[in-house]
Structure 1
């Protein structure tokens, strides 16, 4: 019997480091076959070799989610080689500080949206029709608690992640009767290269492996929306109901995310 008939399949973007790599390890430990996508395929290959993963269960696809045709092609290639995945995790994303006063930061914002929003939709695109035909599957969008309220210096990132939450909510409604579930996962602070340069406190910081374990359980349960860790979900809800004047006062003086080129 082939691997395709034996083991379920997960497709993960941004799998060369951080959350994506931790999710790949968690799904592999659960018996899944892996379809891993990133621009830096050599880093995925080195990681898989270092862990001694069975190569019959791992396929690597080079793709740039900022280029629609690139990630769509990777998805179609995955279907051709490994079959329609059971789970698709649109994890690839960037987080760069911006200052609207600076012209070059408008380009940063455009790239952030290209990766975090359009890239997410393009990741899902090749799989929607075959999953609907099959009547099952999970499409997972990785948002952020930064989607809840806009933070100074984080305009591009906060706006993009708010877009992820709204987009996934729309897609969930579109696929409601199809058997395909749309899951939105909003991480709090996770100890990855994306957060290690932050210049402010990061409460309830989680290690990538712990986040991946909790996310795996939420995805398997078919949860529509989950903040991880849950404590950040409580904080986010409280921040949402705080009056603007009080919120703005509290955010004043908070460390801003580094702009591109800042050390």
Structure 2
């Protein structure tokens, strides 16, 4: 019997690349997206085996919506072996602007509450089965706060902490070899979102290359992985960089697009 991967944000970018990688590895896939018609058309165009995929419509920012999609998946395909909370948004913000406070609320509703709501329907079944992987897509941007990225950086920092907490919960519930929690931190990934960025993107990689490395990390049972590895080195340096030097290095960096200025979505930093 094929294993099952449940993937949010499957209508583009990293989500589609992950769906294709898992399908090619023999998994059945449950594809979650707001744009269901486009996602279905993509699956057909890619030649995915019609018996091994289904699309579920949901808005991750609305907890009841994604929870119901998860419950429907359980009824139609069973409890997944891998759940990847990939859906997210990245929008620049300026705290001096009142409308950007709403942007921050929207970002946390999608990137954080939406992640917990994505995992929620599957916890009971995975714990009872004593197996499975819950995968949270964070970002290297969650390591330090970048100018103009207040909402995104803080939301991804919260993803890292949340997944760490959840990992402890699952280990207590199912033991060392039970339900695993995997935190993945992409660096810069080439997607329609990042092509809008107004700053340099070192170690840029394709969504397909990221998906391949992510698949390997999940299959290997890793709990935390920065992809690509070069950005892992950058992440370690960022952690120890003194504030004065960090501020100086980032002082002239271009800001991320605010709402209405560019593409918003989950594409890796």
The answer as to whether partners of 1:151 and 1:251 remain within 8 angstroms in 2 is: yes
Q: How does 1:151-230 map to 2 (within 5 A)?
A: 151-177=146-172, 178=174, 179-230=178-229
Displacement of 1:43: 1.4
Displacement of 1:90: 0.2
User: In the alignment, is residue 90 of structure 1 matched against residue 91 of structure 2?
Assistant: no
Match of 1:42 among 27, 37, 42: 37
User: In the alignment, is residue 60 of structure 1 matched against residue 48 of structure 2?
Assistant: no
Displacement of 1:113: 0.1
Q: What TM-score do the two structures reach when normalised by structure 2? A: 0.95
Match of 1:8 among 3, 9, 18: 3
Displacement over 3 Å in runs of 4+: none
- Measured in 2, the distance between the counterparts of 1:71 and 1:79 equals 13
Gapped runs of 5+ residues in structure 2?
A: 263-269
Give the 3-state SS of the residue equivalent to 2:126 in structure 1.
Answer: helix
More displaced, 49-58 or 162-171? 49-58
1:3 paired residue number: none
- Measured in 2, the distance between the counterparts of 1:261 and 1:80 equals 39
Displacement of 1:194: 2.1
Q: How does 1:18-167 map to 2 (within 5 A)?
A: 18-167=13-162
2:267 paired residue number: none
Displacement of 1:201: 0.4
- Measured in 1, the distance between the counterparts of 2:193 and 2:52 equals 28
The answer as to whether partners of 1:33 and 1:58 remain within 8 angstroms in 2 is: yes
Q: What TM-score do the two structures reach when normalised by structure 1? A: 0.97
Q: How much is the aligned-residue C-alpha RMSD, in angstroms?
A: 0.7
Displacement of 1:222: 1.0
Gapped runs of 5+ residues in structure 1?
A: 1-5
The answer as to whether partners of 1:89 and 1:140 remain within 8 angstroms in 2 is: yes
- Measured in 2, the distance between the counterparts of 1:164 and 1:206 equals 22
